[in-house]
Amino acid sequence: MSPLNAEQLAGQDNTTSPLRALLIRLCADVSGLQGERRDAAQGRANLMGSLLAEIDETILPRQLTLYFDQVVVARLRVSQRRLLSLELASDIGPADHAGLTSTVQVYAQQLHHLSARYQGTGFRITRQVCETGIETESCSASQLAESLASQQQDSRLERLLTMIGASADAWALQAETAGQNRSHGPAPLARQLMDLAATDRAAKQKNGHALRLPDKTPHYLLLSISSEIKLIVACDQTETLLIALPVQHLAAADAAWHMVFSAP
């Protein structure tokens, strides 16, 4: 009996769709798979697409380890085509989970944070056998994809906040309508930032610009709160974001700004 090829597998009606896709992938030309790995290593592959495919193709318990330039940045435990846990490298730090109500939203935000921070960097994913316990919170690749799609509809300042908000002492985001305003951090400082954002908005409505910012978008200004804490005032479209940030995180904030606003 001759071996089945990818086209014959695709035509088998009694093969479930995910399994069929995996079999077709396994039957693919080796050079094509090597090309995928080469694209990933050179930063040309879609990280989210690669991770979602790995999750969706994994039945037995496996740990997926994500490397950027040979450095481990994340470990994912996967089983039965579901993401069981996601551990980020300590130097990346957690994103701000304020307002997130489900495990899938938290995982999607963390993956989005990784993708934005390491945009265009070569990566690779390895697989190792692992154990699983009694998992109470997990999500499928399709659930992650839906949550990622909704988060990618966020404004650019919201994406910037996702990347650096966890390092901030406090922040305030003033949107076009008052009902969309948000803040986080110690109440006195967060309230001061919201008051400053409101003052800035009132000044803009009166004369077109405020806080000595140039009258064009996007832009940001760096002010001093103390020798250890700086204030970033960022504007884009109708939004204003104020972030009280320790000085040691300024370089990361500047890099995040350029990632967000240089993206196509």
The per-residue pLDDT string of the chain (264 residues; one tens digit each, 9 = 90 and over) reads 344 444 443 444 444 566 666 665 556 555 555 666 676 776 667 788 788 889 988 999 999 999 988 889 999 999 999 999 999 886 555 555 555 678 888 898 888 878 777 766 788 999 999 988 776 789 998 888 888 877 666 788 887 887 788 788 999 988 766 567 888 888 899 899 988 888 877 776 666 555 545 445 788 899 999 999 999 999 888 888 999 999 998 988 887 788 777 755
Give the per-residue pLDDT at 115. Answer: 76
Chain-centre distance for alpha carbon 144: 11
pTM of the model: 0.52
Give the per-residue pLDDT at 230. Answer: 93
Fold of 157-262: Beta-Lactamase (3.30.450)
Q: Print burial letters for 33-46: b (CB count within 10 Å at least 16), e (below 16).
A: eeeeeeebeeeebe
Give the per-residue pLDDT at 2. Answer: 43
d(C-alpha 54, C-alpha 77), whole Å: 11
Give kind and range of the element (H or E) at residue 82.
Answer: strand 82-88
d(C-alpha 209, C-alpha 202), whole Å: 9
Give the per-residue pLDDT at 28. Answer: 54
SS3 93: coil
Give the per-residue pLDDT at 139. Answer: 92
AA letter at 223:
L
What are the boundaries of each domain within the chain? 1-41, 46-153, 157-262
CA angle 243, 249, 253 (to 5 degrees): 60
